[in-house]
Structure 1
Amino acid sequence: MSGAVQRPAAFLDRDGVVNHDDGYMGTRERIRWMPNAAKAIRRLNDAGYFVFFFTNQSGVARGFFTEAELNILHDWMRAELAAQGAVVDDVRYCPHHPEGTVAGYLEDHHWRKPAPGMIHDLMEHWPVRHAGSFVIGDRASDIEAGRAVGLPGFLFAGGDLDAFVAEVMAQTSVR
């Protein structure tokens, strides 16, 4: 990665930020997009940010859906957004939960928010510039994950995601 141009990144939680959190979202039929989600991601793209989803998905550990089904959902979400000119550069998810029921997923994994493992992994695989990067989440655990790597976090309570992103960008822009 040496020599790659560093860019700031927006680390977006999925459920409750990009789409409504209706509980264990394993299939596209259940996805209800947050208002102006694609427009918000396009705004970030146009400003030169990497856009990443980082999401706890304990529904895998709980047996509600498989990792394969989750990956199909993420591919579909990225394609739906891309059709509107909104590019999600990469996705990280944590399928683990210590209270799950599916063998192999029953741990408090270092990727599970509030731990910062997903953010660390994305920063290792992409030329992320720390300055100007930020986290948007709908829970304290999202914000704590960002804080653990020194990134500002912004708590999203729902509504127009594009207006919220515009405000966050105004507060975090590095000239």
Structure 2
Amino acid sequence: MRPAVFLDRDGTLNEEVDYLGHPDQLVMIPGAAAAVAKLNARGIPVVVVTNQSGIGRGKYGWQDFAAVMSRMGTLLALENARIDAVYASPHHEKGQGEYAMADHPDRKPNPGMFLKAAAEHELDLAGSWMVGDKAIDLEAGRRAGCRVALVRTGYGAGVDGADADLVAADLAEAVDLILARWP
């Protein structure tokens, strides 16, 4: 069992875009790829956990999501960075069909995506960190047993960081602070 760093996607790794469903809309936050590369260089698993209600609401599909993630992978690779695993929850109270569920175990702030990742990749959640720009990211990380970091990118500027273990300007600063505390 080894600890990981869990990352929210939109607003943490890339600029916030409502319903990001096309690769051309993807803009990485400056310094994010280099931050992921630092984690990679230390052998720390990097796992994206992202709510994707746009899929559930029918605004875009899984193929569109995969295309965005592929583009992100290409941009990360330019800085020798990679994501080790991606978990996405399409569930939402306004979702369609099987995705019409407000409180699905996988939808943050619930910890389902973290628990799946831990089981599938033998991760130590108690030693792990969750980094995100929303209160639901922090709550999901806490519910999973992780330490949590708030970034001030995306929606983070408007979030009270009192419940976070650390608050950082962006992912690059958060990773530096996490690595300074790494077990």
The answer for the alignment partner of 1:3 in structure 2 is: none
Equivalent of residue 161 in structure 1, options 133, 150, 171: 171
% identity of equivalent residues: 37
Higher helix share: 2
The answer for the alignment partner of 2:7 in structure 1 is: 12
Report Cα offsets for 1:22-79 as digits up to 9, x if no partner.
2111111111111111100000111121001100000011221011211222122123
* Aligned 1:12-161 pairs, distance under 5 A: 12-100=7-95, 102-108=96-102, 109-158=104-153, 159-161=169-171
Matched residue type, 1:19: N
Matched residue type, 2:177: E
TM-score (norm: length of structure 2): 0.86
Report Cα offsets for 1:67-120 as digits up to 9, x if no partner.
1211222122123212321010010000111112x3221112210000000000
What is the root-mean-square deviation in Å for CA atoms of aligned residues? 1.4
Per the TM alignment, residue 160 of structure 1 is displaced from its structure 2 partner at its CA by 4.2
Query: Contact 2:12 / 2:170 at 8 angstroms: preserved in 1?
Result: no
Query: Contact 1:13 / 1:142 at 8 angstroms: preserved in 2?
Result: yes
2:126 and 2:180 map into 1 onto residues whose CA distance is: 14
Change (3 A) 1:131 1:149: closer
4+ residue runs over 6 A deviation: none
The answer for the alignment partner of 2:157 in structure 1 is: none
Count of aligned pairs? 167
Give unmatched runs, 5+ long, in structure 2: 154-168
Query: Contact 1:20 / 1:33 at 8 angstroms: preserved in 2?
Result: yes
